[in-house]
Amino acid sequence: MELELQPLNIPGIENKRPVVISGPCSAETEEQVLSTAKELANVGIKIFRAGIWKPRTRPGSFEGIGETGLAWMQEVQKETGMLVTTEVATAKHVELALKAGIDILWIGARTTANPFAVQEVADALKGVDIPVFVKNPVNPDLELWIGSMERINAAGIKRMAAIHRGFTTYEKVIYRNIPMWHIPIELMRRIPNLPIFCDPSHMGGCRELIAPLSQQAMDLGFYGLMVESHCEPDKAWSDAKQQITPDVLSFILDKLVIRNTGETTESLRALRKQIDELDNKIIEVLSKRMRISREIAEYKKEHNMAVVQPGRYDEIINKRGAQGTLCGMSNDFMRSIFESIHEESVRQQIELINK
pLDDT at 161 over 90: yes
pLDDT interval class at 263 (50, 70, 90): low
Q: 110 Cβ partners below 8 Å, 6+ apart?
A: 55, 89, 138
Extents of the domains making up the chain: 19-255, 266-353
Average of per-residue pLDDT values in the chain: 93
> 199 or 338: which carries more pLDDT confidence?
199
What integer is the mean pLDDT of 307-323?
85
CATH of domain 19-255: 3.20.20.70
Q: What is the DSSP letter of 203?
A: H
pLDDT at 355 over 90: no
pLDDT digits (tens, 9 = 90+) for 333-353: 988 998 999 899 989 989 988
**Long-range interactions of 143-147: CB distance < 8 A, separation 24+:** 144/112, 144/113, 144/115, 145/112, 145/183, 145/187, 146/187, 146/190, 146/191, 147/115, 147/118
Domains 19-255 and 266-353 share a fold: no
What integer is the mean pLDDT of 80-97?
98
CATH of domain 266-353: 1.20.59.10
pLDDT digits (tens, 9 = 90+) for 264-273: 677 778 888 8
> Can you name the residues that pair with 51 across neighbouring β-strands?
26
Question: What pTM was estimated for this model as a whole?
Answer: 0.83
pLDDT at 317: 85
The dihedral formed by the CA atoms of 26, 31, 33 and 39, expressed in degrees to the nearest 10: -130
Helix, strand or coil, per DSSP, at residue 181: coil
What integer is the mean pLDDT of 21-48?
98
Dist CA 157 CA 320 (whole Å): 49
